[in-house]
């Protein structure tokens, strides 16, 4: 099993043995995209993300950070999105010795922005037997442990009076292969209610190879904390 820690109440995973923090699906520029569709959202994501990453850095003392795809939201790249990406990359390169950027399916037209900060996008990154890739495509190499994003996993939790709350979660499976599915770091992205889905509804072709019921689910709420709900199967049985 790969050692890992959920950092504070944040959707970030620290791998002590790798000296690495992993986050995914920041979707910078999402507020502008939503506003353009008629749902006004004030632009606050970047400031919040920078504040949180600073705290994560202080808490772990980690020298390396990996963004596991979908740094940005729009398939095209607007001026405001470029500005946010530039500010985030400047923060990361100023505060971490090593910054690794995995290319997600939303990360079009980012190469020149990354080059300005001495970075380049990668399809995947492997270290000490752990493969990081966004998850929208099946990797072309063999792996034993994989860390993906893309799926935006969340749990639909019902209370005693039938009200449903959706909470982001980290998924972890350990068998012949080990799989981590990172939650979306964006505070306003929509999560997929992973405990109410079947395999055919999943986004990632990697995740479709496994039985979701066997995954361990860790709910992560910035407000309420982290909760280990056991396997998806056990959680669903408890809510019957």
Domain segments of the chain as ranges: 5-238
Q: How open is the CA angle 128-129-134, to the nearest 5 degrees?
A: 110
For strand 164-174 and strand 178-181, is the pairing parallel, antiparallel, or unpaired? antiparallel
The pLDDT of residue 127: 97
Find the DSSP H helices in the chain. Answer: 30-36, 45-60, 79-95, 111-115, 232-238
- CA 39/CA 77 separation, integer angstroms: 20
The pLDDT of residue 63: 96
The pLDDT of residue 41: 60
- CA 127/CA 137 separation, integer angstroms: 19
The pLDDT of residue 32: 61
The pLDDT of residue 68: 98
- CA 186/CA 11 separation, integer angstroms: 9
**pLDDT digit of tens for each residue in the chain (240 aa)?**
899 999 999 999 999 999 999 999 999 887 566 555 656 465 678 999 999 999 999 999 999 999 999 998 675 566 678 889 999 999 999 999 999 999 999 778 788 899 999 999 999 999 999 999 999 999 999 999 999 999 999 999 987 656 688 999 999 999 999 999 999 999 887 789 999 998 889 999 999 999 999 999 999 999 999 999 999 999 998 887
**What's the DSSP call for residue 160?**
T
The pLDDT of residue 187: 87
Query: Model confidence over 104-121: pLDDT tens digits?
Result: 997 787 888 999 999 999
Rg of the chain over all Cα atoms, to the nearest angstrom: 17
Query: Model confidence over 50-68: pLDDT tens digits?
Result: 999 999 999 999 999 999 9
Question: 66, 59 in Cβ contact below 8 A?
Answer: no
- Angle at which helices 79-95 and 45-60 pack, to 10 degrees? 10
The pLDDT of residue 106: 78
Question: 158, 168 in Cβ contact below 8 A?
Answer: no
- The answer to whether domain 5-238 has CATH 3.30.70 is no
Question: 231, 217 in Cβ contact below 8 A?
Answer: yes
Separation of first and last alpha carbons in the chain: 31
Q: In what order do the strands lie in the sheet with 121-122?
A: 5-6, 13-15, 20-23, 64-68, 98-102, 121-122
The pLDDT of residue 136: 96
Question: 132, 22 in Cβ contact below 8 A?
Answer: yes
Residue that has been written with the tokens 């791998």 in this structure: 15
- Could you tell me which of 167, 164, 177 has the C-alpha nearest to residue 226? 167
């Amino acid at each position: 099993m790969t050692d890992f820690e959920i950092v504070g109440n944040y959707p970030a995973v620290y791998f002590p043995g790798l000296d690495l923090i992993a986050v995914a699906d920041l979707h910078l520029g999402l507020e502008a995209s939503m506003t353009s569709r008629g749902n006004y959202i004030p632009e606050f994501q970047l400031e919040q993300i920078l504040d949180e990453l600073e705290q994560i850095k202080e808490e772990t003392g980690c020298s390396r950070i990996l963004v596991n795809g979908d740094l940005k939201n729009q398939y095209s790249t607007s001026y405001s999105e470029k500005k946010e990406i530039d500010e985030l990359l400047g923060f990361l390169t100023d505060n971490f010795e090593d910054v690794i950027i995995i290319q997600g399916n939303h990360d079009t037209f980012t190469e020149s922005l990354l080059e300005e900060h001495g970075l380049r996008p990668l399809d995947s990154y492997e270290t000490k037997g752990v493969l990081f890739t966004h998850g929208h495509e099946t990797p072309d190499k063999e792996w034993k442990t994989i860390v993906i994003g893309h799926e935006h996993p969340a749990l639909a939790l019902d209370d005693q009076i039938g009200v449903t709350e959706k909470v982001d979660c980290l998924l972890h499976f350990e068998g012949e292969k080990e799989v981590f599915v990172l939650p979306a770091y964006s505070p306003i992205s929509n999560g997929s209610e992973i405990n109410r889905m079947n395999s055919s509804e999943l986004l990632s072709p990697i995740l479709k190879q496994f039985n979701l019921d066997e995954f361990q689910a860790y709910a992560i709420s910035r407000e309420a904390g982290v909760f280990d709900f056991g396997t998806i199967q056990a959680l669903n049985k408890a809510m019957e």
